[in-house]
Amino acid sequence: MCEFCAQFQRFDIVWNLEVFNRKTHRQIGKDVSGKHFFGGGTNTMSAIILDGKSLAQQIEVDLTQRVTRIREAANGVKPILATILVGDDPASAHYVRQKGNACRRIGMDSRQVFLPQETSTGELLEAIDSLASDAGVNGILLQHPVPPQIDERACFDRIPVEKDVDGVSSQGFGRMAMKSPAYGSATPAGIMRMLQHY
């Protein structure tokens, strides 16, 4: 896996650790004895709080240093993550904005492609092909879900495996299954990284 690819996988892990941390803290509380409990139930047990936010911050510091080295080796050229958003779902738009913010924090660039709700599968495939053929784009993330008229699987599989930073293509899944170099699926990879840390 090239250094650019490794940066994108770590970047996605950082983002997913932040999301996992927010979701986890909503489900964890303390009873009157100070023990942690999960999901509001009455059974208590000792627990370790997996602090995704703290781990994400540590990874982000590491990524910033790595991206700096990549840029120095590439005469100042920044790695670019391209995101594609089809439609105007507020949650998806927020997610894409946050990805762009995270890119900027670690010294990368973000290219955001917005397509209308009525976009067809063919039009989305053309947008993916354009980014795939752009040597300046190092990773492509198709925000999902996409509108129902689009063949999501065909669009995921159009992303070249070397730019599939979200780990969503069939070829990427196959490579992971064979333990060959590929991006891990973002959320499971983030969870595994957190478990390894703790």
pLDDT tens for each residue of 108-131: 999 999 999 999 999 999 999 999
Calpha distance 140→130 (Å, rounded): 11
Please tell me whether residue 38 adopts helix, strand or coil conformation: strand
- Between the alpha carbon of residue 138 and those of residues 23, 34, 38, the distances in Å are 30, 47, 40
pLDDT for res 12:
59
pLDDT tens for each residue of 66-111: 999 999 999 999 999 999 999 989 999 999 999 999 999 999 999 9
CB-based contacts of 9, cutoff 8 Å, min separation 6 = 1, 165, 183, 184, 189
pLDDT tens for each residue of 138-167: 999 999 999 999 999 999 999 999 999 999
pLDDT for res 31:
43
Torsional class of 47: left (φ above 0), alpha (ψ -120 to 50), beta (otherwise) = beta
pLDDT tens for each residue of 1-55: 555 555 555 555 555 555 555 555 544 444 444 444 455 555 566 788 888 899 9
The radius of gyration of the chain from alpha carbons, rounded to an integer in Å, stands at 18
| 115 neighbors 84 (Cβ within 8 angstroms) | yes
| 194 neighbors 20 (Cβ within 8 angstroms) | yes
| 164 neighbors 140 (Cβ within 8 angstroms) | yes
Q: Can you read off the two tokens belonging to residue 8?
A: 């994108």
pTM of the model: 0.74
Cβ-based burial of 123 (10 A; exposed 0-12, middle 13-18, buried ≥19): middle
| 107 neighbors 78 (Cβ within 8 angstroms) | yes
